[in-house]
Structure 1
Amino acid sequence: MFKTFAEAISWVNGRLKFGVKPGLERMEWLLKVLGDPQKKLRAIHVAGTNGKGSTIAFIRSILNEAGMTVGTFTSPYIITFNERISVDGIPISDEEWTALFNEIKPFVIELEKTELGAATEFEIITTCAFLYFAKYSKTDFVLLETGLGGRLDSTNVVEPILSIITSIGYDHTAILGETIQEITREKAGIIKQGVPVLTAVHQPEATEIIKHTAEENDALYMSLFDSCQLYEEHSLPSGEQFSLNTLAHQYKKIETSLIGVHQRQNASLAILAAEWLTAEKYAVIDQEMLRSGIKKAIWPGRFEKILDKPLTYIDGAHNQEGVDRLAETVATHFNGRNIHVCFSALKDKPYQDMIRRVETFASSIHFTSFDFPRVESAQKLFEQCQITHKTYNEAIDSVFQFIEDTRQDDDAIVLITGSLYFISAVRSMLV
């Protein structure tokens, strides 16, 4: 038995040695001995390369405005480990996590003795989420974010009322495949028999696969681009504004507090989800609830302002698509300003191409490292950079000096970006 949260976290972190082992057999075994808690949830399952967390944040906020209690399971965490399991945006406590780990540990040990082998860290955490939402909380809805892919992801044992695929891009190619088609097949693996799927995927070769998978499963297919028109789009100093026509309603001048052109799309996806929930009588959501929910939604680490002088943002642009969206945001919000970037990335990311893209808008780039198993060295990142104004330092504390050095530039924007784990570490230092 774990007496403290620290002991419990040390145990689950020790499961990292088992790595990523795609497959649902271990999850099914664990959940069966726990009474199949995943079958007792009213869940919305969200997959995609980018935009999952923001879309979940928008949907949760809308449902909260409608008076609903909403559980979320997201990863990785930005502020604390606890936030992986949250209710109405509030992470569960150390004591609740410890109790969950104590409850499932005997079964994890028993599982290791079978031919299925040891459960991974993410499988244990996912099991905790299903158990908590089904047994220890009174949620009206649970929003589940896939960890990696979809088809073989630990969350894919759930039986949702709605599936959402936000976007398709190149990430985790060693596991999911190296082409858009291969990656899409993995993401589309969350589509279940008779369960509608909502998507903002735009590539024709990807949408064709999602549509075909939906047809095979007799699942309603709803595309943001087929059913909606975004117009009157503007970037605001602290968010975005857009109007949206759906098949059911017209929404004028919707505002978000999340910055980035892509957040207009994520918010629109959440609006479509809210319309569907209302149409199917799962919830009653009027326009004021929807507008307020979109405006109030927050998602730490996504173009989040953390300092006013110098004006400093953190953004978890951890893959190529994320960096492309970041470049769009910089162009719409800070065109003509001096952009000073601090960057770190993991070894298994396409950081060469990511750095090339950052170079297109950065006035200077500082590379650093942080404490994480798969992190790339600051020197190797530095060696990939082709712009003149660049520095590197392996110590994450160098971020402080980097920010301090930019204070003399009155036109400066400091942008700290790259790995989500890096963003989490920096945020804990600065906020």
Structure 2
Amino acid sequence: MEPIFKTMDDFYSFLYESRPHQQIKLGLERIFKLSRQLGHPERAFRSIHVAGTNGKGSVTRMISAFLTDMGYTVGANYSPHLVNFSERITLNEEPVSDEDLLRVLNAVYPAIERMDRLDQKMKPSFFEIVTLLAFEYFREKKADFASIEVGMGGRLDASNILRPEVCVITSIGFDHMKSLGNTLAKIAGEKAGIIKKKVPLVCGAISAEAAATIRSRAKKMESPAFCLGEGYSYYPRLCAIDDNRFDYFEPGYALKDISVRLNGRHQFLNGATAICAYRRLCDRTGIPYREETVRSVLRKISWPARFERIATAPDIIIDGGHNPPAFETLVKAWRDYYGKQKAIFVTGILSDKDYPKMIEVIAPILSHVIVTEPKAGDRVRIEEVAEAFRERLEGVQTELIKDHREACVRALALSGGEKPILSAGSLYLVGYIKDTFLEYLKPVSASAAQR
């Protein structure tokens, strides 16, 4: 049969034009029907399911890297991507190829088309199709494991058709409140929806309010819970940019002086959470636990836009933080590495975020603000965001420069090759900002990273 989708233009046209990717359609009915028509591809591999307000991408990546290092065939699914769509779906840390994307979409399209013909309600969403593409791709490639990041929430997220070996909730904070609820207990309830009967749960840093909800769900599901502070813990040793060190502990076990390349104290938490999840996976499946794998992977792992230093002279930091808790973490990391030095800030916060609170959190570390336009459709009202910065930041100039290339050029001019630049606020922005900066400056060298 002649393939319907022959080029990546065909692929993107179908995904982005026939079902806008900003449209949120929570619920499991559509993805269950799609998966059933295809023989449940998500059951062809063992999975680790990772939810959380912040940190879930890093933990998903670390777990994938642990298993890849051991020689297994490992899929991973992330959301959203920074620059290239292929970043969403990886196999053994390598992004899916255009050829594979086209082949898999052509293979699953008949099932999608049948759903489209039913009615508008049953029309699969952008995220549901991408999730299905990942699962089918992993099945085709005979993946042994897949590390899967939740898109939003958990209970009604398309990825929640998985039957995982381990569930992880990295953190609970205020984000996506229109969809998930306006209290930590409600948000925790949505994320706790990934907990499966008698499947181990690893839970990171959460408030008492959120913890009560998660523990209640775990107890109901008879799931052993390994929570930070009880089931596992960590101790920070050193914060030095691109070379950070911590100790990991759980009852009866310790692994000390672990080097992690990812920056920020929050990566100690993410690293510890990933180690705990890896150990629970080994316990449950019988695969060997290897300390050398943990040390090797965390020492060399990179993950774009996680307090990532992409250049020196000036230092340019790219971070995907896009909600108040993430900005709180970002400010702490900035002070760890840059002390009282302030940043030239390039941002493009989406209008559906709590940007007044985000501005309040980040204001103390800013010397100059440039607001530019993220590529996120009707969720962008940068004039409102720029005005909010002007109202809340006394003595700090805020400029509105819609074109992100011009915004980067302006930041470099203000820096004079010395003052550090920080870009954060939206995953729909920082990927393009990173690429633009790198057109003008050499990326940070291996020797600079070790300094």
Please report the TM-score for the alignment, with normalisation by the length of structure 1: 0.96
Pair 1:172 & 2:176 matched: yes
- Structure 2 equivalent of residue 107 of structure 1: 111
Q: Residue type matched to 2:154 in 1?
A: G
Greater relative contact order: 1 or 2 (C-alpha under 8 angstroms, separation 6 or more)? 1
Distance 2:5 2:437 in 1: 32
Q: 5+ residue gaps in structure 2?
A: 439-451
* Residue 55 in structure 1 maps to residue 63 in structure 2: no
Question: How has the CA–CA distance of structure 1 residues 90 and 59 changed in structure 2, closer, same or farther, with 3 Å as cutoff?
Answer: same
1:3 to 6, 30, 52: 6
Once the two structures are overlaid, the 10-residue window that deviates more, 165-174 or 66-75, is: 66-75
Name the CA shift for 1:298/1:282 in 2 (closer, same or farther; >3 Å).
farther
Per the TM alignment, residue 205 of structure 1 is displaced from its structure 2 partner at its CA by 1.1
Mapped to 1, the partners of 2:236 and 2:342 lie a distance apart of 28
Query: Are the aligned partners of 2:236 and 2:268 in contact in 1 as well (CA < 8 Å)?
Result: no
Structure 1 window deviating more from structure 2 (354-363 vs 25-34): it is: 354-363
Q: CA–CA distance in 1 between the matches of 2:374 and 2:46?
A: 39
Q: Which runs of 5+ in 1 are unaligned?
A: none
CA contact (8 A) 2:349 2:374 kept: no
Mapped contact 1:343–1:366 kept (Cα < 8 A): yes
**Counterparts of 2:378 and 2:47, CA distance in 1:** 32
The residue that corresponds to 1:357 in the other structure is 361
Between the aligned residues of both structures, percent identity stands at 31
- CA-CA distance at 1:253 after TM superposition: 1.0
Q: Does the Cα contact within 8 Å between 1:344 and 1:422 map onto a contact in 2?
A: yes
Matched, 1:413 2:410: no
Q: Which residue in the other structure is 2:346 paired with?
A: 342
Number of the residue aligned with 1:429:
436
Which deviates more, 316-325 or 375-384? 375-384
The aligned residue for residue 145 of structure 2 is 141
What is the deviation of 1:186? 0.3
In structure 2, the residue matched to 1:254 is 258
Q: State the Cα distance separating 1:235 from its structure 2 match.
A: 0.4
Q: Structure 2 residue aligned with 1:71, among 66, 69, 75?
A: 75
Could you report, residue by residue, the CA deviation over 1:95-124 in whole angstroms, capped at 9, with x for unpaired residues? Answer: 110111111222212112225521110111
The number of residue pairs the alignment matches comes to 429
In the alignment, is residue 82 of structure 1 matched against residue 69 of structure 2?
no
Report SS of the residue matched to 1:225: coil
Distance 2:435 2:409 in 1: 16
Q: SS at the partner of 1:234?
A: strand
User: Contact 1:238/1:258 (CA < 8 Å) preserved in 2?
Assistant: yes
Report the Cα offset of residue 424 of structure 1.
Answer: 1.8
**SS of structure 2 residue aligned to 1:147:** coil
- Give the letter aligned to residue 12 of structure 2: I
Distance 2:437 2:339 in 1: 26
Residues 374 and 426 of structure 2 are in contact (CA less than 8 Å); yes or no, is this contact kept in structure 1?
Answer: no
Q: Which residue identity does 1:76 align to in structure 2?
A: P
Q: Distance in 2 between matches of 1:281 and 1:120?
A: 33
Q: Does 1:391 align with 2:394?
A: no
Contact 1:342 1:416 in 2 (8 A): yes
For 1:198 and 1:213, locate their aligned partners in 2 and report how far apart those are by CA, in whole Å.
13
Q: How does 1:280-359 map to 2 (within 5 A)?
A: 280-359=284-363
User: How far is the alpha carbon of 1:17 from its aligned partner?
Assistant: 7.1
Compared CA separation, residues 395 and 319, structure 1 to 2 (3 A): same
Matches within 5 A, 1:156-171: 156-171=160-175
Letter in 1 for 2:324: Q
The 1:17–1:206 alpha-carbon spacing in structure 2 relative to 1, beyond 3 Å, is: closer
**Cα shift at 1:358:** 1.4
SS in 2 for 1:20: coil
Q: Does residue 138 of structure 2 align to residue 130 of structure 1?
A: no
Tell me the secondary structure at the aligned position of residue 148 of structure 2: strand
CA distance in 2, matches of 1:175, 1:313: 31
Partner of 2:449: none
How far residue 380 of structure 1 moved from its aligned partner, in angstroms, is: 1.6
Q: State the AA in 1 paired with 2:141.
A: S
Could you tell me whether the CA contact under 8 Å between 2:22 and 2:377 is conserved in 1? no
Distance 1:407 1:201 in 2: 36
CA distance in 2, matches of 1:67, 1:128: 24
How far did residue 18 of structure 1 move?
Answer: 8.3
How far has the Cα of 1:130 moved from its partner?
A: 1.1
The alpha-carbon deviation at position 292 of structure 1 amounts to: 0.8
Deviation at 1:6, TM superposition (A): 1.5
Q: In the TM superposition, what is the alpha-carbon distance from 1:344 to its structure 2 partner?
A: 0.7
CA distance in 2, matches of 1:263, 1:27: 33
- Look up the SS of the partner of 2:102 in the other structure: helix
SS of the residue 1:199 aligns to: strand
Out of 13-22 and 284-293, give the one that drifted further: 13-22
Deviation at 1:191, TM superposition (A): 0.6
Displacement of 1:23 in angstroms is: 0.7
Amino acid corresponding to residue 354 of structure 1 in structure 2: M
Counterpart of 2:428 in 1: which secondary structure?
A: helix
Tell me how far apart the structure 2 counterparts of residues 153 and 180 of structure 1 sit (CA, whole Å).
Answer: 18
**Does the Cα contact within 8 Å between 1:367 and 1:392 map onto a contact in 2?**
yes
- Aligned residue for 1:416, secondary structure, equals strand
Q: Do the aligned partners of 1:202 and 1:225 also contact (CA within 8 Å) in 2?
A: no
Contact 2:61–2:147 under 8 Å retained in 1: no
Distance 1:328 1:112 in 2: 47
Distance 1:130 1:247 in 2: 35
Residue pairs, 1:237-248, within 5 angstroms: 237-248=241-252
Residue of structure 2 equivalent to 1:268? 272
